Amino acid sequence: RQAMKPSISETDLLRLADLNLVDFWCQSARWIRYPEILHQQDAVFINSALDFPACSFAFNLSSINKEPPEKFIDLAKSFFAGRKKAFSLLLRGHADQSIIRFCKDNKFYLVSESPGMVLDAPVIQKAAPMDAELHWVSSADSLAAFRHIITEAYQDLKFPPEVSSSYFMHPERVLEPQLMLALVHLNGKPVCAAMAMLSHGIGGIYWVGTLKHFRGIGLAEYCVREVGNAAFDAGARKIVLQASQFGKPVYARLGYREFTQYPWFMCSCR
């Protein structure tokens, strides 16, 4: 008889979700080529080739934060000095409260406070929306369709088109076995996209988007359900994501529950 997989505690889930998120941004930076990625003890700094502060990050991965928050901020500014005018701090509601308070007290620009959400088990299969069909991305042509959808959809999240598009210009870097990219075609036209990434024993959902004129009919829910279930089939023990204001109701309907928040600040190097 096959042994049951050990359950994941909420503490372990938080750690795995953080590692999956950092790994996603590290991998994404490599898709564009020529990033700088520095692991300095419990900090990770990503200097993307893109000149857009929402694509270069400082992460704190310390489990026990005894240092004053200024130390982490100063480390980040030191890394990015001479490289960027500004960068992003993507923080953890469950582990970075002193840094979050420091950022708010010093009036750092708050981009979002995305809820971290988790799916504990595969979603029961339902019929696809009428005239919708799922296709897996496996070629340069289908990746180009994925890129087109994400480029349009992420403008609503204030990502310039040239920024979102840059991540998907090199198929040989994106089409990796740990990544599951899917398109939903409606009447033969690709109109919705989502990706799952396997790392650290779990799956993470990223790059979810639907063309504006095709929203509100369940396509994103269908696409996220399928990539999430595919990640479970590939061995993921949980599926995590960081929800936008548009996505949270969709994920809640699928059974995702909120387990933390990820405040996202912009920080000047000055």
Q: What is the 3-state secondary structure (H, E, C) of 22-65?
A: HHHHHHHHHHHCCCEEEEECCEEEEECCCCCHHHCEEEECCCCC
Q: What share of the chain is helix, strand, coil (3-state, %, to 5)?
A: 35, 30, 35
Which band of pLDDT confidence, cut at 50, 70 and 90, is reported for residue 7?
confident
3 state DSSP class of 6: coil
Q: Which two tokens stand for residue 266?
A: 């912009």
Q: How far is CA 197 from CA 60, 119, 127, 206, 240, in A?
A: 21, 14, 24, 8, 10
Please tell me the predicted confidence (pLDDT) of residue 125: 86
User: How large is the average pLDDT for residues 177-197?
Assistant: 97
Name the amino acid, one letter, at 7: S
Q: Where are the beta strands (DSSP E) in 49-201?
A: 57-60, 86-90, 109-119, 132-136, 179-186, 189-199
Whether the CB-CB separation of 196 and 227 falls below 8 Å is answered with yes
How far apart are the C-alpha atoms of 124 and 230, rounded to whole Å?
A: 12
Which band of pLDDT confidence, cut at 50, 70 and 90, is reported for residue 65?
confident
Please tell me the predicted confidence (pLDDT) of residue 5: 65
User: How large is the average pLDDT for residues 156-173?
Assistant: 95
Please tell me the predicted confidence (pLDDT) of residue 107: 96
How far apart are the C-alpha atoms of 145 and 143, rounded to whole Å?
A: 5
Whether the CB-CB separation of 264 and 114 falls below 8 Å is answered with yes
Which residues on adjacent β-strands are paired with residue 262? 114
Mean pLDDT, all residues of the chain: 95
Least confident of 58-67, 76-85, 128-137: 58-67
Please tell me the predicted confidence (pLDDT) of residue 4: 54
Whether the CB-CB separation of 168 and 149 falls below 8 Å is answered with no
Q: Which two tokens stand for residue 131?
A: 């005239």
How far apart are the C-alpha atoms of 118 and 256, rounded to whole Å?
A: 5
How far apart are the C-alpha atoms of 199 and 197, rounded to whole Å?
A: 7
3 state DSSP class of 267: strand
3 state DSSP class of 196: strand
Please tell me the predicted confidence (pLDDT) of residue 67: 85
3 state DSSP class of 141: helix
Which band of pLDDT confidence, cut at 50, 70 and 90, is reported for residue 246?
confident
Rounded to two decimals, the pTM is 0.95
Please tell me the predicted confidence (pLDDT) of residue 252: 96
Whether the CB-CB separation of 223 and 90 falls below 8 Å is answered with no
Q: What is the CA radius of gyration of the chain?
A: 18
Which H or E element spans position 214? Answer: none
Which band of pLDDT confidence, cut at 50, 70 and 90, is reported for residue 66?
confident
